[in-house]
Structures are given as C-alpha cells and as structure tokens.
Amino acid sequence: SYEKAWLGAALVLIVFFIATITYGTVGAGVSMVDDSGGTVDPNNLADHERFGDPGVEQVGENEYEVNVVASAFYFNPGSDQLGFDPIQVPANSTVTFYVTSSDVIHGFSVPGTNVNTMVIPGEVAELTVEFDEPDTYGLLCNEYCGYDHHNMEGTVEVV
C-alpha cells in the first residue's frame, strides 16, 4: 500500500539523517586533531604534538618546519625575552611556519619576506618561505595585543 511505502521511505530518511549526523561528528573530531593547519586547543598546547615542544624541525633534505607559539609578549621560539632562542634555519631551504597563539590575537611578520599573518587562538597559521642566502631578519607582532605589544619581537637567522 501507499502507507507502507511512505513509512519505509521515512525510515530510510531517518537512518540517512542519523548517519549524516554521526559522520559529521566524527569528521569534526578528526579535524580537531589534524595539525596541518586547522584548529587547536589554545588551553592545551603543552599536549599538542606540534606545539608542545615548539621549534625547528627538519622534514626533508632542504625542508624545515618551524612551530611557533605566540603569547603575550613573546614568540617561542624566536624571542629572547624569557630566554627563547632565535629561529635558526639553513640557507637554501624551504621553511614552513606553523604559528598559533596561547592567549589573544597576535601578528607574525618577518619583514623582507612574504611572512605576515594574523595569529588567532585556536587556529594554526601556515606560511611557506624560501630562504636563499644567509641573513638575519626581524620578527614582529603587528597586531595590538596589550601593554607590551611594541616589545613583542624576535629574530630569524638564516645561516
């Protein structure tokens, strides 16, 4: 009968909706732990595989990843405030910066390169730059982030 057919169709739709919701939830869960850009818990950076121990990592022959945590008012690594090391990468390398914030919105700018981004808590900014020759660059926060914003700076050494 028509009634049975409609009931069957409704059941199929209900199952489809539940499957969609379940898939969406699992998908969101996966993106929470995906660290190739995407999102991150700013209150739990110590446990994060990329940001728990920030710094320079060689990932290919001439390829490096630099994981940086911006906090009021320093970059780790990058700032000598509180004893953080400068960012040091070899010349003739391709460097991808992954930057997140542990507190408020900061900036991450390396004047003289294409690296210039906002750093938003909960998000990961990703920027790739080629460093051909040895040089020393400044590193700046260019988003107002509080009373010591003007001292939030650091160094990128290409050696």
Which residues are near ligand CUA by CB under 6 A? 73, 106-107, 141, 143-145, 149, 152
Q: Which ranges constitute the DSSP H helices of 34-137? A: none
CB closer to ligand CUA, 134 vs 146: 146
Q: Residue 80 in contact with residue 49, Cβ under 8 Å?
A: no
Please, which residue, 64 or 107, has the CB nearer to ligand CUA?
107
CB of residue 73 vs ligand CUA: minimum separation in angstroms?
6
* DSSP conformational letter for 50: T
In the bound state with ligand CUA, the residue whose beta carbon lies nearer, of 143 and 158, is: 143
Compute the least distance from the CB of residue 93 to ligand CUA, in Å: 26
Min dist CB 130 to ligand CUA, Å, is 26
**Tokens describing residue 32:** 């929470």
The two beta strands, 63-71 and 55-60, are: antiparallel
Distance in angstroms (rounded) separating the CA atoms of residues 152 and 97 = 18
In the complex, least distance from residue 54 CB atom to ligand CUA, rounded to whole angstroms: 16
User: Considering beta carbons, is residue 117 or 158 the nearer one to ligand CUA?
Assistant: 117
Q: How far is CA 52 from CA 8, 12, 42, in A?
A: 51, 45, 11
